[in-house]
Amino acid sequence: GIGSSQSTDGTVGADVALVMVAGDRTWKVTRDDLVSVDMESLQEGESRLDVRSEQAVTGGILEVTSGRRTKVCLTQGHGEWTLDRGAQRDLGGLQDEMRRENLELEAFETRGLSAVPEGCDAVFAVGPTVAFTADEAALLQRYVRGGGNLLVTLDPEIQRDEIPASGLEEVLRDFGIRVDRSIVLELDPRFLPQGATNPAGPFLVATWGDHPVTRGFRQVPGLGMVTELTRSIRPIDPERATTLFSASESSFAETDIARLVAEGEPTRDDADLAGPVSIGVATRVEAVGEAPEGEGEPSEDREGGRVVVVGDSDFLDARYLATGEVVNFDVASAVVGWLTERAALIELPSRRISAQPVRMTQDDVTGLFFRVVVLLPLAVTFLGFAVWWNRRS
């Protein structure tokens, strides 16, 4: 149904634009789910509309036809980004976007667990600042080897002139992914904000690998996402893992953090990693052992887990997800879609429309009035006379 809806208790939801029903399952799509106005754009003198009707309708269809929502579980206990609104490292923006896609985000503590909670379609470890213990790392390793899906974003947090270990390096190495203790420096001014001189970021990433997550971005020149302080993440074997995105040819990854902190200026030498520097990697992991709890399928009949590792968490910041000039939201949506095997999230990017204000002079208004009120009716009258004359003849 289109328009307002009436619930079983007689109340009317005037904000509901679409109601989907399948059997006894109902899902309501609000007008804000379909189209919303970027309030910041109003202050800039334009009205930027965020049109997400495809995502909202797709999520609604999945809600009423599937048995349950897709669930993404967020690790906690290591200083990760949280779902707490107003926190300095807040994933509320991602949560709002994913709700439109019929995905549920739920946090859980890894410490002391022997298995990932049942029902998790993917596990996200977003920006940990405290190292995972060996037992926690083994927990995630078993989860992925058992067919689970994992996203890890590791920022280059600097402590005492070095980047400490996250506790996940060896596990990710086992999956074919190398996590470097480095800082990516972008030296091409075309990828830095106008007037910015800090090569450590934020900077624009516009070099895309050949992978289902990024294939759509490769086909449209000029698309880029914003990252801030970033570390290099590389595939150990290109046959096992694929680079998703990289900094430019002019970039490099500084491995001597103490010297970078002391000098404050990038100095490239043979020990540094030459550009284009890989900062995001995806891989499929061979299934070994038992399936994740609740699946119960034999390992030989299952495909292995999926893993994505990114050297930055700030690309998930609500500021960038809500900015139509960059594709941070589309990248995040594609990553989530690939990990949870939701193809619609990869194939249906958001569409943002900029509605520029129209400013007309008095002469413009007079001319428009003459064309609409005088010329247009005369043209219709003439056309009608021509049709009548043709038939009469």
**What is the C-alpha separation between 332 and 228, in angstroms, rounded?**
15
pLDDT, tens digit, for every residue of 337-353? 999 988 766 664 544 43
Question: Is 299 exposed, middle or buried (CB count within 10 Å of its CB: 0-12, 13-18, 19+)?
Answer: middle
Pairing of strands 150-153, 306-310: parallel
Neighbours of 331 (CB within 10 A): 27
Q: Pick the closest to residue 191 from 164, 159, 224, 232 (CA basis).
A: 224
pLDDT, tens digit, for every residue of 272-281? 899 899 999 9
Residue 70 has pLDDT above 80, yes or no: yes
**What is the C-alpha separation between 191 and 194, in angstroms, rounded?**
9
pLDDT at residue number 26 = 57
Please state which of the ranges 17-21, 61-65, 76-80, 384-388 shows the lowest mean pLDDT: 61-65
Q: Pick the closest to residue 323 from 334, 313, 331 (CA basis).
A: 331
Helices (H), the chain: 31-34, 39-43, 53-65, 92-100, 134-145, 169-174, 215-218, 257-263, 318-321, 328-339, 343-347, 362-369, 376-392
**What is the C-alpha separation between 68 and 82, in angstroms, rounded?**
23
Residue 243 has pLDDT above 90, yes or no: yes
Q: Which residues of 85-105 are buried (b: 16+ CB within 10 A; e: fewer)?
A: eeeebbbbbbbebbebbbbeb
Cα-based distances in Å from 294 to 112, 206, 290, 297, 342 = 20, 39, 11, 9, 19
Q: What is the DSSP string of 111-170?
A: TT-SSPPTT-SEEEEES--SPPPHHHHHHHHHHHHTT--EEEE-----BTTB----S-HH
Q: What angle do CA 247, 188, 224 make, to 5 degrees?
A: 45
Check: pTM over 0.75? Answer yes or no.
no
Q: What sign does the CA torsion over 384, 385, 388, 393 have? A: negative
pLDDT at residue number 37 = 47
Greater model confidence, 95 or 244: 244
pLDDT, tens digit, for every residue of 311-336? 999 999 999 998 888 999 999 999 99
Pairing of strands 122-126, 150-153: parallel
Extract the tokens encoding 244.
């998703």
Cβ atoms of residues 152 and 74 within 8 Å? no
Residue 370 has pLDDT above 70, yes or no: no
pLDDT range class, residue 358, cuts 50, 70, 90: very low
> Of the spans 22-31, 49-58, 150-159, 218-227, which averages the highest pLDDT?
150-159
Cβ atoms of residues 285 and 307 within 8 Å? yes
Pairing of strands 241-246, 207-208: antiparallel
**What is the C-alpha separation between 260 and 255, in angstroms, rounded?**
9
Neighbours of 372 (CB within 10 A): 10
Length of the chain: 393
pLDDT at residue number 374 = 61
